[in-house]
Structure 1
Amino acid sequence: MPDYPETALYRAISTGQFPVIVSLPRHELELAKAALDGGAAAIKVHLNAYHRASGTTFGSFAQELPFLEKLAKLGAPMLVMAGQETVPTLEEMDALAALGFEGFNVYADHLQPHLLQSRLRPMPALSSSSTDADVVRLAAIPGAIIEASIMDFSDYGNRLNAYDLARYAQIAALATVPVIAPSQKLFSPTDMPALRAAGIAAPLLGVIVIGSSPNSIHNAVAAIASA
């Protein structure tokens, strides 16, 4: 297993600081700058994937590299959703680490063995069909952070409810590692105390919450970061 560095972002996630992470709806530098100006602690990008919530198709490592190099120059912590059936090679994963990326994310079904040999910290994602046994299995991956991507697509954009919070709390209690909650539902600033109380280590804000313009991203991130 690689010796993953204990970065400022990882310390914030693992010590209860509740940092706000932003998933970009498109690979545009102005969107990343707006998120950081609003108070985001890290930026997440995508490779090899169609993102249903935003309707964006993200290309391969080679196709997205020009943007990734520009993003790296901002100096902010960076995470990558590595793909679906297609994922980067080990050499490409290490090239991402050399650019400054800290962690990678894929659904558990797409967690190819070579990804765990890279220098990027694994952030495997649960799905709407994941079981408690899946939580325990993913938490056993050395160095892992779990992404609780547990909502059914038909429920995307609805308000967070007591059942959702109870499920987050159950996952956080089962996991011996930090758990991040992506905004598949419409997270609001007033939801942040409840997410923290459920044991969530960080919110991951995507298009459902932040929209897709620099102004909407800045305003949404600022409201949640201040909460």
Structure 2
Amino acid sequence: MYHPTKLYTALTTGQFPVIVSLARHNLDLARAALDGGAFALKTHLNAYHRATGTTFGTFAEERPFFEELAKLGCPLLVMAGQETVPTAAEMDALADLGFEGFNVYIDHMQPHLLQSRLRPMPALSSTSTPEDVAKIAALPGCIIEASIMPFERYRTPMAPADLSRYRAIAAAVDVPVIVPSQLSFTPDDLRQLRQAGIAAPLLGAIVTGDTPASMRAAVSAAAAP
């Protein structure tokens, strides 16, 4: 149903590609991420981003940025929204721009999103159960985002129990699992996540900071062998 893209191939063949979630829609940040070695970029729509306090607008509002971002030629993902998500026509427009996957919390999934050309990347939450994990994994062609940390754990170090939780999710499914940097991941943490079966890290502002310089440095460290 979905095209076998470079990103999906990297996720399913153990390449551990670094995906960067942009803290704000800024082309200098995007270029810095790619300069640092990011494989793919994730952007946002219709959402309030708790880690940074940034509000992202509708597709119509964000489209000019997306059109410029698409010119960078890297794989693109989009966090599609919360209570409000793109229409079917807007999902088609995102696909036409080159976006290949979309992300929402599973509670915000709407049927028309699964009919689009964008590969689903539903997110778990801090209250998700093993049954929720199995439900998401049953979606054809999906990727799972293990966004499982409660807000009070944001920016704290990864503990052995956290690593065990990520490992258990990866072991329970036969689809790629990516882990967002809700915690303050270090390069060593990322190596441990890779060994635990995680397909890719999704690095956001907690790790990358909010400047091109901090972005480039953080991604370079994460992407190093």
Provide the TM-score with structure 1 as the length reference: 0.98
1:44 alignment partner, SS class: strand
Given candidates 86, 110, 113, the residue that maps to 1:112 is: 110
Q: Which amino acid aligns with 2:214?
A: S
Deviation string for 1:20-63 (max 9, x for gaps)? 00000000100000000000000000000000101100000000
Instruction: Give the percent of matched residue pairs that are identical in Structure 1 and Structure 2.
Output: 68
1:193 CA displacement: 1.7
Partner of 1:140: 138
Partner Cα distance (1:26, 1:144) in 2: 26
Matched positions, count: 225
Unaligned runs of 5+ in 1: none
1:25 matched to 2:23: yes
Given candidates 92, 97, 115, the residue that maps to 1:99 is: 97
Given candidates 157, 160, 164, the residue that maps to 2:158 is: 160
Deviation string for 1:83-131 (max 9, x for gaps)? 0000000110010000000100000000000000000000000000000
Partner Cα distance (2:206, 2:166) in 1: 19
Partner of 2:6: 8
Partner of 1:195: 193
2:81 alignment partner, SS class: coil
Unaligned runs of 5+ in 2: none
Q: Which amino acid aligns with 2:58?
A: S
Q: How does 1:205-216 map to 2 (within 5 A)?
A: 205-216=203-214
1:64 alignment partner, SS class: helix
Q: Which amino acid aligns with 2:174?
A: T
Q: Which amino acid aligns with 1:197?
A: Q
Provide the TM-score with structure 2 as the length reference: 0.99
Partner of 1:225: 223
Q: Which amino acid aligns with 2:191?
A: P
2:125 alignment partner, SS class: coil
Partner of 1:36: 34
